[in-house]
Structure 1
Amino acid sequence: MFELKKGALYVVATPIGNLGDLSPRARDVLAGADRICAEDTRHTRQMLNALGLERPLLALHEHNEDARVAQVLSYLQAGESLALVSDAGTPLISDPGYRLVRGLRAAGVTVSPVPGPCAAIAALSVAGIASDRFCFEGFLPNKSTARRERLQALAAEPRTLVFYESAHRIEECLADMRAAFGDAREAVLAREITKLFETVLDGTLASIAESVGADPNQRKGEFVLVVAGAPEDADAALREGRRLYAKLAEVMKPSQAAKLAAELSGAPRKALYGGE
C-alpha cells in the first residue's frame, strides 16, 4: 500500500461515472487518510461504501471553504494525513478547493496531486477537435445576459473552448453559442461520460442543437461542450467589425449599424451588438 506522508494534503481525483476508473494509488490514499475533505459527504460516503472503505469525513464546499482552512491546517500540523475529493473528477476544476490549497501552501504544507479522471480532458480526448491549445471556461453564467456577453467575448478566441453545462440549460446554452459563434462552428457535445448512457455528438453547433432538441434523452445528464476555436482571421474581422460599428452607430440605429458592420467585416453581428 502507498505510504502517506504525515502532515500532507492529497488532492485525489475520483471517478466521473465508472468506479473502475479510480486508480490503485487513489484508493490507497483514501484508505489511509486520517480524514477526507469532501464536497458532499453523503456522495463521498456512498463511494467509500462501494469501495469497502470507512473514513472520517469533513464537509468542505463553496459556502464553508474559507472557514475550514484553519481547521484543516490544525489537523495537518498535528501530523494527520488528509485527502481532498470533489463529488466527481479532479478537485478544484470547477469545484471547491483552491482557497484551501492556497491557504495550506502559504502555510508551508505539502499538497500532493493524485491524478485521475477529469470530464473536460476526457471529452477533449474523444472530440477530434484541435487539442494542442485549448481554453477551459467551465460553467457559463446562469443568467442569459451575462452568458451571452461571456460568449461574445470569446467569439474570436482561436483556441479550442471547453465548457461544462447542466441539463436544464443545455438548449439555451447551445442557442447562445450559435448566436455568438455562428451556426457553422465545429463542436462536440459529450454527455454522461463513462456512464451507461454516454453519448458523443459531433458536427456543427446548429446540427448538435437540432439533435438535442429532437431527442429528450439528449437533454438529460451532465454535459461537456468542446467548441472549435475561431479561424485565424476572426480576430482581425472582429476588430474591423467593431471599428465599423462604432462609426456607423453614429448615424444609424445600433441594430442596423451592427447588421451592416457584420456584413462588411464578416464578424458575428452578436459580437458587435447585443440587441435583436
Structure 2
Amino acid sequence: MASLRALVGCKRVIDYAVKIRVKPDNMGVVTEGIKHSMNPFDEIALEEAVRMKEKKIVSEIVAVSCGPPECQETLRTALAMGADRAIHVEIKGEEYQGLQPLAVSKMLAKLIQNEKVDIAFFGKQAIDDDSNQTGQMVASLLDWPQATFASKIETEGSDTLKVMREIDGGLEHIKVKLPAVVTADLRLNEPRYATLPNIMKAKKKPFSKMSSEELGVDIKPRLQVKSVVDPPVREAGSTVENVDELITKLKDVGVV
C-alpha cells in the first residue's frame, strides 16, 4: 500500500476517573481545577495510526485539537505517543463553552482538505458529551466513505481498508475505499504510554496554532442548552426468596 497521510482528532476531556459535578446554575459541569486528559477513544484512534506508521503504511500523522490553550497539553501527549505534527485550533471562553460537534466537524474537514489527508482517525465518541457525531459528519462534509466503531482494521491493496465493526447483532465486516474516515471502538487496540524520552522528543516536534476564522468556519452554536442536571438517584433493590414472591412484588408495582 502506498504511504498515506493520516490526521487524528484529539479531544481534551475531563479525565475518566473524575466524578462529574453539575454547576450550581445548572448550565454545565464543573471544569475548573479538574484533571483533564485526552479522550480515551481518541487515544485508541491515535494508537492505530501510529501502528500503521510502524508498518510503513502511514508516512505522517497530524494530531489536531480544537479548544482552549490547555489543549496544547493534550497535543503534546499525542506527539509523545507518536504523532509527527500537531495543529491547535484555539477557541476560548464563551465560544468554547458553546462549541458543538458540527462546528468541530467543519474545522476538521477543512484541515483534512488543507493537509491533503488520506485517512482520518477519530474516537467513536467523546466521553464528556457522548455525541457520537463528529466522525460521521466529517465524512459527510467531505463525501468520504466511513467505517465507524472499528474493532479491527486491515489494509487490502493500495487503496482499501477492511474493517471489522461491532453492531447490535454481532460483528460486521466492511470494505472502504480511501480516502476515508475511521472511528475507533474500545477493542481496536490498547494505547501505549508516552515514555519520558518520547515526551522530551515531543517538545521539538512541529506545533502550529490557528483560529476558526483562519479556517473560514462559523462556530456559533446551533443548539441551546437549557439545563444540565444530575441523573435521578436509583432506588435500592430488594431480594426475594422465590419466584412466587417475585411475581407478587412485580404485580404490586404494576410491571405484570
TM-score, with length taken from structure 1: 0.33
Q: Give the alignment's TM-score, normalised by structure 2.
A: 0.35
Which structure is higher in helix share?
1
More strand by share: 2
| Structure with larger RCO (C-alpha < 8 A, sep 6+) | 2
The higher radius of gyration belongs to: 1
